[in-house]
Amino acid sequence: MRKLAVILAFSAAPLFAQSSDVVAGAIHGTLLLPSDMSKPVPVVLLIAGSGPTDRDGNSATLPGKNDSLKMLATDFAMNGIASLRYDKRGIAASAIPGQKESDLRFENYIDDAVAWCNQLHEKRFSSVIIAGHSEGSLIGMVAAKKCGAAGFISLEGAGYPAADILRTQLKTRLPAELNAQSEAVLKSLEAGKPVDDVPPQLTVLYRASVQPYLISWFHYDPAKELAELRIPILVVQGTTDIQVSLDDAKRLAAANPRAKLVVIEGMNHILKMVSGDLQTQIPSYSDPKLQLSEKLTPQLVEFVRKAVTGH
């Protein structure tokens, strides 16, 4: 493990944290420790969302950065909690030369999260909490069952299977005939059967090289996965999220009596205070100066501390 000592100045007080580059197999991340490491502290494993999203919460498909996960890690450090965030497999520093899209499976992401979680079970840390954002929520809840996590946090995580979400979105966007063709493809993939004759208009979604991944992803129902956890659970949802709805969060929270639902008024998908207007939402995804919701960190810190102490 190669460590890079980085001094972070915080405006609230002369606090310092240590940032280290860390690696688990071919996956690269950043470990951020609070200033006081005189005794073991809890550590949060932060898992990024869907698409080409890096460890800081930034997407390669957008022109700027929002740094949402980087900000969250900093907030944890200021509250005496360590964190590890990482570039997902195939993204940024975790790009793997020669990796083919057709070889990728959803389980690869789960295995990577489990590897990190296992690596964090060491003497500096009192316990490991997994926090998954967006698609990372599903990855995290499955990983939490496999690696002995002490708690799980879902941040703007979907509550329905990916195929159902895609089905709902396409129904309002595609002409009736094309939607019927899309539905036939979806049903086949849900049954684990690849489709050779995908309509040209749907190739971007259902190209042959991505079908194995979709088949593996469609297998999971977030609510059913969450229901199997026997650890404290926090489900966080903002009311101005235009990607994941409050209905998703309610379905998750209802799946497990251990789950606590926290709804933050005015918080969007990337955890920032933005109105529901699309013209306001879009710039927020590329604005690193826009801070996280002030109501978010206190809820997360309280949950982590309670998960560690048991009360």
Q: What is the pTM of this model?
A: 0.92
At 63 the pLDDT is 83
Residue with tokens 């197999």: 25
- Rounded to an integer, what distance in angstroms lies between the CA atom of residue 136 and that of residue 114? 12
- All residue ranges of the chain with pLDDT < 50 are 1-14
- What pLDDT, on a 0 to 100 scale, did the predictor assign at position 17? 79
The predicted structure's pLDDT at residue 16 = 63
Distances (CA, A) of 257 to 150, 230, 234, 237: 16, 10, 11, 17
Measure Cα distances from 199 to 28, 67, 176, 250 in Å: 38, 38, 14, 35
Token digits of residue 209:
């090289």
The 10s digit of each residue's pLDDT in 229-248 is 999 999 999 999 999 999 99
Q: DSSP character for 88?
A: P
